[in-house]
Structures are given as structure tokens and as C-alpha cells.
Amino acid sequence: MHEYSLVEALIGRVEAEARKRGALAVHGLSVRVGELAGVDPELFQTAYDTFRAGTICAQAPLTLRRVPASWTCSRCRAPIPRGEVLRCAACGEPARLDEGSDALTLDAVDLEVP
């Protein structure tokens, strides 16, 4: 259950951004979770809801966007279906994981500034 330590890092980053911009409050944040990011989105949400109390994020809902994993051939760019052997059937090259498939990214924060 590493979701708690991830949420700790997330809130720390938001606090730093809020401080930098002299924000009075945080009104929301959006996070992107790739299917292969090694993060359970529901656990992450629960961890966030538990951890945000008493922090600058206390009133900030978290919007999670899930990104399904996808693969393409590293040469011909043909899509390689999920669950298949990760090698292109046509040219034999290994598959490449598409961007975002394994990402855990803080996309945006809504800050209330004076």
C-alpha cells in the first residue's frame, strides 16, 4: 500500500506550488493515472481523502483520470493488442509502451490567489 506515500508526495508538491504563488486556498487538483503506473486509483482516492484533512488540500476535490495501457510497434507503429505477446506480428520488433500508460502525473491545481 504505497498509495499513502504517493499522496504525501502529491500534497507536498501542491503545498509548494501554493506557497510559491501566495495562494490562499486550493480548490481542486487533477491527477492522471496510467493503467501500468502501479497505482490502484480507488486506493489512491481513499488515501487522498484520508490524508488531505488538515492540509491545504482539505477542501480540494481530487479528479482522477485513468489512462488505459496501450502498446505500439517500435518500428512500424502498428498497435499491439493488450494481453498479446509484446512483439509486432508484422516486423518482429519489440513493442513500445505508449506515453501515459505508466504515468502518475499531477496535471493541474486550481489555486485561489489574492
Partner 1 sequence: MCTTCGCGDTELVPVELHEKILAGNDRTARHNREHFLEAGVLALNLMGSPGAGKTAVLEATARAAAARGWRLGAVSADLATDNDAVRLQKAGIPSRAITTGQACHLDAELVHRSLHDLPWQQTDVFFIENVGNLVCPAIYDLGEAASVVVLSVTEGEDKPLKYPTMFLEADLVLISKCDLIPHLDFDMARLEDALARVMPTPRALKVSARTGEGMDAWVAWIAAKRLELGMVGRVAGLGAALQGPGRGAGR
Whole-angstrom distance, CA of residue 109 vs CA of residue 97:
27
C-alpha cell at 81: 493488442
- Whole-angstrom Cα distance, residue 74 to residue 53? 45
Which of 62, 95, 98, 99 touches partner 1 (CB under 8 A)? 95
Binding of residue 97 to partner 1 (CB under 8 A): yes
Q: Are strands 62-67 and 25-34 parallel, antiparallel or unpaired?
A: parallel
Handedness of CA 86, 88, 92, 93 (dihedral sign): negative
- Contacts of residue 56, defined as CB under 8 A and 6 or more positions apart, other chains included, come to 11, 14, 15, 18, 23, 25, 26
Please tell me whether residue 86 binds partner 1 under the rule CB under 8 A.
yes
Site for partner 1 in 55-74 (CB under 8 A): 71, 74
Looking at 58, 76, 85, 91, which residue binds partner 1 (CB under 8 A)? 85
Residues 5-44 that bind partner 1 (CB under 8 A): 5-6, 9-10, 12-13, 17, 21, 23-24, 27, 31, 36-39
Residues of this chain that bind partner 1 (CB under 8 A): 1-2, 5-6, 9-10, 12-13, 17, 21, 23-24, 27, 31, 36-39, 71, 74, 83-87, 94-97, 102-114
